[in-house]
Structure 1
Amino acid sequence: MAILVVTYLVSLVSFFCGVLAFISVRKHLLSTLLSLEFIMLSIFWFMSSVVVNLGGDCYFLLFFLTLAACEGALGLSLLVSIVRSHGNDNFSSFNTLQC
């Protein structure tokens, strides 16, 4: 029982660390995307520990992990597109009027 509580606590602390990194680091797009992936992985870890504790099926977890991988691929493709059009991934160099 204590190991289960530690697993829940570690996953929740990692989630809040990811949210803190997402809020505080706003200089580069890559660091923002990495913090989003860290949040997704901590949510996956929490959900998998809950499902294992309850004895349920892992099909929803596989669906969630697939969506997280697709979200990561989409974020990286947007990052490549922005770097090709603007030259870097600094938020301060983006012009909102430019297409």
Structure 2
Amino acid sequence: MNNSTMTIMYLLPLLAMTNMMFNQAHFLMTLLSLEGITLSLVLFIPLILMNTHAPNAALTVILLTFGACEASLGLGLMVLMSRSYGSDMLKSLTLTKC
């Protein structure tokens, strides 16, 4: 891979975390940001391990498994929240309502 591709791959986790910090109005946008972080780590960690000549096949599968679990739990929470409160706005969650 050339230098620009590697630079983009190294910046993906940072960009995904920045997106997570600034998109916190809706629960769905927060879930999508978390999924972006997970997928960027699935790409980023094997690249780092490849540069250090470490085996990386098992770690990639484990990260994908955690990503699938995170997505299913997040969607379940979003459905529960939209049924209970009528929207997916994170600002509507307060301790007095729970």
Fold-level match, TM-score > 0.5?
A: yes
Q: Which consecutive segments of 4 or more residues in structure 1 shift more than 3 A?
A: 4-8, 50-53
**In structure 2, what is the equivalent of residue 96 of structure 1?**
95
**In structure 1, what is the equivalent of residue 47 of structure 2?**
49
Is this contact kept in 1: 2:49–2:56, CA < 8 A?
yes
Return the letter of the residue paired with 1:79: M
**In structure 1, what is the equivalent of residue 31 of structure 2?**
33
The Cα shift of 1:18 comes to: 0.9
The Cα shift of 1:26 comes to: 1.6
**In structure 2, what is the equivalent of residue 76 of structure 1?**
75
Residues in 2 aligned to 1:42 and 1:57: alpha-carbon distance in whole angstroms: 15
The Cα shift of 1:4 comes to: 6.3
The Cα shift of 1:57 comes to: 4.6
TM-score if structure 2 supplies the norm length?
A: 0.84
* 1:65 aligned onto 2:64: yes
**5+ long unaligned stretches in structure 1:** none
Paired residue total: 97
Return the letter of the residue paired with 1:58: A
Moved more, 6-15 or 56-65: 6-15
